[in-house]
Amino acid sequence: MNLVHADPKTVLTGAHFMDGNHAACEGAIAAGANFAAGYPITPSTEIVERFAARAPLVGATFLQMEDELASSIAILGAAWGGAKSFTVTSGPGFSLMMEHIGFAAMTETPSVFVDVQRGGPSTGLPTLPAQADMMQARWGSHGDYEIIALSPSSPQECFDVMIDAFNFAERYRNPVFVMMDESVGHMTEKVVIPSADRVLLVPRRYTCLPPSEYLPFKPSPDGIPEMARMGQGYHFHVTGLTHDASGYPAINAQTQQELLSRLVGKIRNDADKIARAEERQIEDARIVLVAYGITARVALRAVQLAREERIPAGLLRPIVVWPFPEKRIRELAGQAKAFIVVEMNQGQIVHEVERGVAGRARTVLVPHAGGAVHRPEAILEVIREVAQWA
Amino acid sequence: MGMTTAVNPVEPLLRSERMPHLWCPGCGIGTTVNCFARALERSKLPLDKVAVVSGIGCTGRVAGYINLDSFHTTHGRAIPFATGLKLANPDLTVAVYSGDGDLISIGGNHFIHAARRNVDIKVICVNNFIYGMTGGQVAPTTPLGAVATTAPYGSFERPFNLPFLAESSGAVYVARWTAYHVQHIAHSMTEALRKKGFSFIEILAPCPTLYQRRNKLGDGLDTMRYYKERSVIKNGASTRDLDLDFQGEITVGKFVDVERPTLQETMDRLYRQRLEDRYFGWRQP
Ligand SMILES: Cc1ncc(C[n+]2csc(CCOP(=O)(O)OP(=O)(O)O)c2C)c(N)n1
Ligand code: SF4
Ligand SMILES: [Mg+2]
């Protein structure tokens, strides 16, 4: 895959102190995002506020739409128009976007959705964190489809994963999610933005075929079709209906089977290539903590406290949460006696861990209803208990 | 489009490999598509640079039959999709082609906001007074008293006056015709395609299968007769006076044709003023 450098005009190279929301915005701009649409919602709004200010300085467009239904499809129209586009929201807005996530998956539209998670359900805790939209990101739209979701645990990583998100979106022609949370969004830390020549970007996959030979949804050897530029005489058609390689509707079971297995397969078959995780003290760990986003930082503290007590605990922090790193869990289930899943919800990713472990070790959930992060001591308590029998 | 023949000059603008189309005999949608193809020709626009965006419904299937870059999006959201498309690719002429339920019920909020912003898109609304695709349910355009599957004793809601809604929301071009007025439709579509800003054309069209049949109004031809007998052309009429009653008189014509800076022009001017040479204008992708 040919990569290109970021545009130096857009990259704010240097060391900054900024919060995760601002860093995510700069990550998007460095990734070449030149279109964003959004509707204000706490705790995500700073991302679009910053983008609104930066857009006219970097050749980009921002439009505040009338609602999230509009912003989530305006970015898809912009993507087909040639832009790299994204939208930003939190729980209630994320719920409104669901139909267009399915539309993006079905039409293979490169797009990035940022959800700065807050406590729910409903209006919940507008100003306080949660991680309770993880399954919604995976399953929220109707029908079968696959997505990629990243979960940053620091402002620096908010910047970094935005670049990954845009690259995955282009590489797989798929909606990609950045699942932040209020804590990471509003925490200020040092963020180092590299020079433009160190930001490598996946360019859009445009066809070189002439219009007479081009089929808009004919997969390349890797299962992903090439796009055509608009306005160049390709006269292509895009529909959310089940369609064949020509792009036209084909309402029958066989086309559905072929399309669905390709849409799902292009992500599932590449899960290992997409996977990204951080492991801490995992080599000799008999107790593996699994945590992502802000919660992973608290869990790491608990691991350190446990190690001080000579309890062999370690941490697996998926940065790519979807597709879930099931294979790595399976491997670790050979060495670990127990998995402790720490998440700011009532149990979501824990089910994935249980599936990977498949009964070969115990899996324990340390839930939190949201509104505040876990206390490391509370996690340590659970580690101690588990250490009694692990 | 059943009328399309080998000698029809609009043929290259239609996707002949997609024929026969799915519309019922006597349906008015195909008639409007013929007018649109003719308008595309007459507009003298570079046709590769014209895109068609539809929502969902019988009218929503139009995008699939026009031989241009085309998008069949989600129910009600053709306008915000088109907004993103146009902003990202300002060289394109973007036409939104959809039904009354799609554009005005589920998509109503987007309709008024796009008009308010003066997004440079051309919105063509086929108003058959009903939800066709889903089998004839009541719509926000169904005339008072008309029967629909979900209004079996007649609709008890006041319908929208679409030209009034469009004008008061900010549209710079507003016209209404019926499927009988093919010359006028083609002329208005040509004007709209060439006009800058949010342009809106409402076309009353028969849905003989559902609306006309349930209301015992005969077939498509009977409806054409009704349109012919009861339509009155009043160009420049006040949009306030354009309410439609069940089988009553229909005021048609071009009602609004004004100049107002588009969203993109306003955005551009403001950035230029405030940022001066720091303004880094849109990079064409
Ligand atoms: C979100 C959503 N709700 C409902 C539907 C079902 N649906 C499909 S078309 C339609 C109404 C179409 O009516 P109109 O826009 O007037 O188009 P027509 O078929 O009359 O041309 C509805 C309700 C849908 N596709 N999506
Ligand atoms: S149901 Fe009505 S609107 Fe739909 S194709 Fe048939 S006649 Fe036309
Ligand atoms: Mg209708």
Tell whether A223 is covered by a domain.
no
Residue B268 with chain A: CB contacts under 8 Å: none
Report the pLDDT value the prediction gives residue B282, as an integer from 0 to 100.
62
Short-list A220, A363, A382, A360, CA closest to A303: A382
Boundary of a domain, candidates A201, A216, A234: A201
- Per-residue pLDDT of chain B (285 residues), as tens digits, is 444 445 577 889 999 999 999 999 999 999 999 999 999 999 999 999 999 999 999 999 999 999 999 999 999 999 999 999 999 999 999 999 999 999 999 999 999 999 999 999 999 999 999 999 999 999 999 999 999 999 999 999 999 999 999 999 999 999 999 999 999 999 999 999 999 999 999 999 999 999 999 999 999 999 999 999 999 999 999 999 999 999 999 999 999 999 999 999 999 999 999 999 999 876 555
**Co-location of A381 and A289 in the same domain:** yes
Listed residues A141, A171, A201: the one ending a domain: A201
Cα–chain-centroid distance for residue A270?
15
Cβ of residue B27 lying under 6 Å from some atom of ligand 2: yes
The reported pLDDT for the residue numbered B11 is 85
Looking at the domain assignment, is residue A269 inside a domain?
no
**From the candidates A7, A69, A142, which should be mutated to test the interface with B, based on the most B CB atoms within 10 A?**
A69
Q: Where residue A315 sits, what CATH number does that domain have?
A: 3.40.50.920
Q: Residue A253: inside a domain, yes or no?
A: no
DSSP run (H or E) holding A342: strand A338-342
Question: pTM higher than 0.95 for the full model?
Answer: yes
**Residues A14 and A102 grouped into a single domain:** yes
Contacts of B80 in chain A (CB under 8 A): 37, 65-66, 69-71, 73-74, 77
| Residues of chain B neighbouring A69 (CB-CB closer than 8 A) | 76-77, 80, 110
Q: Whose C-alpha lies nearest to ligand 1, atom 16?
A: B101
Express each pLDDT in A337-355 by its tens digit. Answer: 999 999 999 999 999 999 9
Question: Residue A123's domain is classified under what CATH number?
Answer: 3.40.50.970
pLDDT in tens, A200-231: 999 999 999 999 999 999 999 999 999 999 99
CA of B257 to the centre of ligand 1 (A): 30
In a shared domain, residues A285 and A194: no
Substitution site in B29, B102, B125 for ligand 2 pocket (most atoms within 8 Å of beta carbon): B29
Distances (CA, A) of A268 to A114, A215, A255, A301, B65: 22, 24, 20, 33, 34
Measured in angstroms, the CA of B84 and the nearest CA of chain A are apart by 4
Q: Is B216 on the interface with A (CB under 8 A)?
A: no
Tell me which residues of chain A, numbers 44 to 73, contact chain B at a CB-CB cutoff of 8 Å.
56-61, 63, 65-67, 69-71, 73
**CATH homologous superfamily for the domain B17-278:** Thiamin diphosphate (ThDP)-binding fold, Pyr/PP domains (3.40.50.970)
Say how many C-beta atoms besides its own lie within 10 A of residue A384's C-beta.
15
Examine the domain organization and report whether A170 and A294 are in the same domain.
Answer: no
DSSP string covering A268-304, please? HTTHHHH--EEEES-TT-SEEEE--THHHHHHHHHHH
Domain membership of residue A240 (yes or no) is no
Residue A210's Cβ-count burial label (10 Å; 0-12, 13-18, 19+) is exposed
- Which DSSP string corresponds to A130-192? --TTHHHHHH-SSS----EEE---SHHHHHHHHHHHHHHHHHHTSEEEEEEEHHHHH-EEEEE
The predicted-structure confidence for A142-161, as pLDDT tens digits, reads as follows: 999 999 999 999 999 999 99
Within a domain: A241: no
Cα torsion angle, B54, B55, B60, B64, sign: positive
Greatest extent of chain A over all pairs of C-alpha atoms, in Å: 70
- pLDDT for position B9: 74
How far is residue B217 from each of residues B32, B126, B210, B223, B225, measured CA to CA in Å? Answer: 21, 19, 10, 7, 11
CB contact under 8 A, B82 and A100: no
In this prediction, residue A2 carries a pLDDT of 87
- For residue A360, the enclosing domain spans 278-387
C-beta of B108 in contact with ligand 2 (< 6 A) = no
Claim to verify: residue A145 and residue A282 sit in the same structural domain: no
Look at residue A235 and tell me if it is in a domain. no
Q: Are residues A197 and A293 in the same domain?
A: no
A80 touching B (Cβ < 8 Å): yes
Residues 86-105 of A with CB under 8 A from B: 99-100, 103
What are the start-end ranges of the H helices in A83-126?
Answer: 91-107
Residue A247 within a domain:
no
Distance in Å, CA B123 to ligand 3 centroid: 15
Q: What is the 3 state secondary structure string of chain B?
A: CCCCCCCCCCHHHECHHHCCCCCCCCCCHHHHHHHHHHHHHHHCCCHHHEEEEECCCCHHHHHHHECCEEEECCCCCHHHHHHHHHHHCCCCEEEEEEEHHHHHHHCHHHHHHHHHHCCCEEEEEEECCCECCCCCECCCCCCCCCCECCECCCCCCCCCCHHHHHHHHCCCEEEEEECCCHHHHHHHHHHHHHCCCCEEEEEECCCHHHHHHHCCCCCHHHHHHHHHHHEEECCCCCHHHCCCCCCCCEEEEEEEECCCCCHHHHHHHHHHHHHHHHCCCCCCC
In a domain, A37, yes or no: yes
Show which of A201, A224, A255 is a domain's final residue. A201
Question: Per-residue pLDDT tens for A156-165?
Answer: 999 999 999 9
Q: Is the domain of A171 the same as that of A286?
A: no
**What length does chain B have?**
285
Nearest to A25 by CA among A106, A116, A126: A116
Q: A190 and A294: one domain?
A: no
Contacts of B32 (CB under 8 A, 6+ apart): B124, B126, B179, B185, B203, B205
**Pair (A36, A160) in one structural domain:** yes
Residue B134 CB less than 6 A away from ligand 1: yes
Q: What is the CA radius of gyration of chain A?
A: 21
pLDDT attached to residue B284: 55
Residues 225-244 of A with CB under 8 A from B: 230-241
Q: What is the mean pLDDT of chain A?
A: 98
Ligand 1 centroid – CA A108 distance (Å): 23
Nearest ligand 2 atom to the CA of B29 is 8
Q: Count structural domains, chain A.
A: 2
A195 and A283 together in one domain: no
Query: In angstroms, what separates the C-alpha of B80 from chain A's closest C-alpha?
Result: 5
